[in-house]
Amino acid sequence: MKLPLLLHAASLCGAIGCLLSCTGSTGNVPSGDIPSMPLRAPYENTLEYAWSQKTVSDSRLLSDMEAMDPWTHRGYGDLSLSTDNPYQGKASLLLTSPTKGESTPPDGRPWGVASAIYRVDGEDWTDWNRLSFRIYPDLPGFKVVSISLVFHNDGEDKVPDSYGRNGLNYQVLENHTWNTVYWEIAHLGREKVSAVEIRYRLQGNEPGAAETARYYIDDLYLEKVDADHFEGWNVAPGQIAYNHAGYATGYPKLAFTPDASVETFRLKDVETGKVVLEAPVATQSTPTGDFRVMDFSRVDSKGTYLLEAGGLRTKPFLIDHFAAVYRSSIIKTINHFYTQRCGYAVEGVHDACHLDWVSTHNDRMVSIHGGWHDAGDLSQGLVNTAEAAYAMLLLAGKLKTSDEALADRLLEEARWGVDWMLKTRFGDGFRNVWATKDMWTDNIIGSEDDFASRAQNSPHANLVSATTEAIAFLLFKDRDPDFARYALASAIEDYAFGIDIDERRMNVELAGAALNAALALYEATGDETYKAPAVSYADYIVRCQQQADLDEGVALKGFFYRNPSKETILHYPHRSHEQDAVVGLAKLANLFPSEAGEWKKALQLYADFYKETAAANAPYYMLPAGIYDLTQARDEVENEQIRNGIQLNDRYYLKRFPVWTSFRGNSGTTLTQAKGLSVVAACLGDEELKQIVYRALDWHLGLNPFAQSLMYGEGYRYAGQYSVTSGNLVGGLPVGIQTHFNRDQPYWPAENCYNWKEIWVHPSCRWLMLMHDFV
């Protein structure tokens, strides 16, 4: 099957971009100025604010908390009526719980829960689509507090689902004040409702904070509102989908409107109020549906603009060169990492934390506070840390002459990550690769809240570390020669540990990591002995590629298998490293152009594959998950997910989203693919491919079906993320948009749950990698 390339002709014209930043206000960040961190997001730009402004067409009071019935308690603590602090009336419900259990936490996770459960006798709530209630947290000393909600439905559409995710919603709250919580439930089965649960998780407390959590709860309502769009490719009604940060020179400038009746759109200069372009709204038929497209690529003048189409209007955005458009997102991504620092006091987020956290190796141990918390929990991961520091180092090198202040700030944050990498290695191949910690601790080694990680000797972790350490040498050799020498010595050792791989364990991911590490050391040392293994790893990667037509009637090729046997196609459902193989091939081809024939052929095949398959997701051009082999499905769930893709023949299907189980969300996969393809585009001089890659940035900043920016604090209509211990952090990206059950279309409901809405450093470091390629 040949998929048509559906790039809109005008979208390949020049484009420009904009910068919208939040530095505690809605003002722009001037060039050269780095705001103090942590940054704060304007509340009026959040999706939560938009919910608070919705018209309630009907409501039904479920409980005014003047009596206990039908409330019950489950888990730790106690549930009672209290007259101490009602929102209104004479009483409120009081949920109390210790912050810790009595024993060592299970595997680094919370001790348990304390729940207030509103029992329902199988009622049909289909006509209602929102819950709201008031809640007052009283947790002295806590900088961030949260609560979780669980919806229970015993009808045909079971809620929560089998993975315990759908129907679970986490809400960050303001301490010591009454909060109003809104939860739109239009996406949930609710024809036989059995309960609504308000739940506190026992996640410890920092030293000096309260050891008892108290939540006053009042006025639980069912409501009818105009619910947010939550599934499908179509644009959210009442919204224009556009890139909230803007459009950079040389790239497409497109926006989509859901209004089928509107015939023209207008682009207005915000400063002058003048209409700079009035043009027809085009209809574009694509594999994902019919879309109403506004193309303003012809406008090249720098400025602040907004779009109008019918009765809809966007917020302001700028048109400028790429560095001006995306500088704000770079600063905010740095802020995300800064606020995730472990062992460091971050104002309003946490004190110096986890000083009692260690990793053990035989009879030795090292302290592992430092680096960055990995995600919405407080865990630590070496590979994500190494890749984030690598991205910061490369981007700093790119910006050192054009934006010295930003380059210096990137180096400062990268140094924080590299220091942690070096201090958590044992020097014999073992190091702290992963440590789960989903709670605050007392910072005292030997107390009951301790949970030590066990060091591992991971070839992949050592190779990724070697690459970052070698790059750190290059960036710091003039700034801090002693640190640079230590980083390089560690890189040389870690590379040797990493390539000590049993042949049976070798795969394309490891070959890509080994290739990049060898080339980084080649550049850092000038030692020619690194060239031969680099070439060998490159040849291995080429042998993993599908270079002939896949099958009869399926002319697609250029993707990779896990190893040269070509039995299993390379896929990632969650954390992806697909970029490593092609980034390494491109770098090798640039270093040794006279020998690059086969490597460039492989890169061209890879580029052609994605140029053809990305058209299946027009007009967004979201990079697809790839080709799936039905004969490789492990169970009926995988079988159904594959069959819901685009059928190529009886055996092969093209999937827009990965085949996955509970770990869902595709920012980590699509931004990783985009990183690899941006490097390939530069190596091949392929402008068409670069245009497609750019669309991944559009998608994440608002040009998606939900018209939401996925980066918290950048643009508008950004949703709260699962970051319940550290709060909503400006610059954070979530794991990403997922699918509902086994379908293969975007799903982004108004609830906040791990893993798909969980803040995660993995997509954030991919964002910085892409900034390096585009700036």
Residue 379 pLDDT more than 50? Answer: yes
For 327, phi and psi rounded to 5 degrees? -60, -40
Q: Report the distance separating Cα 290 and Cα 480, nearest Å.
A: 57
Residue 503: band (very low, low, confident or very high) from pLDDT cuts 50, 70, 90: confident
Q: Report the distance separating Cα 20 and Cα 29, nearest Å.
A: 8
H helices within 136-244, ranges in order?
Answer: none
Average pLDDT over residues 21-33: 45
Q: Report the distance separating Cα 604 and Cα 746, nearest Å.
A: 29
Contact 169, 149 (CB under 8 A): yes
For 591, phi and psi rounded to 5 degrees? -75, -35
How many Cα atoms sit within 13 Å of 454 on the Cβ side?
2
Single out the residue of 297, 319, 299, 315 nearest to residue 307, CA to CA: 315
Average pLDDT over residues 337-366: 97
pLDDT digits (tens, 9 = 90+) for 645-695: 999 999 999 999 999 999 999 999 999 999 999 999 999 999 999 999 999
Single out the residue of 133, 136, 164, 129 nearest to residue 150, CA to CA: 164
Residue 384 pLDDT more than 90? Answer: yes
Three-class DSSP category at 120: strand
Residue 28 pLDDT more than 60? Answer: no
Q: Report the distance separating Cα 129 and Cα 185, nearest Å.
A: 5
Residue 480 pLDDT more than 80? Answer: yes
Burial bucket for residue 347 (CB in 10 Å: 0-12, 13-18, 19+): exposed
- Helix 404-423, helix 322-339: angle, nearest 10: 30
Single out the residue of 536, 529, 636 nearest to residue 585, CA to CA: 536
How many Cα atoms sit within 13 Å of 218 on the Cβ side?
20
The predicted pLDDT at position 31 comes to 53
The predicted pLDDT at position 324 comes to 96
Query: What percent of the chain has a predicted confidence (pLDDT) above 70?
Result: 96
The predicted pLDDT at position 32 comes to 62
Contact 205, 156 (CB under 8 A): no
Average pLDDT over residues 366-378: 96
The predicted pLDDT at position 15 comes to 29
* 107/549: higher pLDDT: 549
Average pLDDT over residues 181-210: 98
Q: Where are the beta strands (DSSP E) in 244-354?
A: 246-248, 254-257, 264-269, 275-280, 282-286, 289-295, 303-309, 312-313, 317-320
Mean pLDDT, all residues of the chain? 94
Contact 281, 263 (CB under 8 A): yes
Contact 513, 464 (CB under 8 A): yes
pLDDT digits (tens, 9 = 90+) for 601-643: 999 999 999 999 999 999 999 999 999 999 999 999 999 999 9
pLDDT digits (tens, 9 = 90+) for 67-105: 999 999 999 999 999 999 999 999 999 999 999 998 888
Residue 441 pLDDT more than 50? Answer: yes
pLDDT digits (tens, 9 = 90+) for 454-473: 999 999 999 999 999 999 99
The predicted pLDDT at position 68 comes to 97
Q: Report the distance separating Cα 647 and Cα 631, nearest Å.
A: 13
Residue 1: band (very low, low, confident or very high) from pLDDT cuts 50, 70, 90: very low
Amino acid at 329: S
Burial bucket for residue 147 (CB in 10 Å: 0-12, 13-18, 19+): buried
Residue 107 pLDDT more than 90? Answer: no
Residue 65: band (very low, low, confident or very high) from pLDDT cuts 50, 70, 90: very high
Q: Report the distance separating Cα 132 and Cα 52, nearest Å.
A: 10
The predicted pLDDT at position 26 comes to 33
Single out the residue of 693, 761, 758, 772 nearest to residue 721, CA to CA: 758
Q: Give yes or no for a cis peptide into 137 (omega within 30° of 0).
A: no
Query: What percent of the chain has a predicted confidence (pLDDT) above 90?
Result: 93
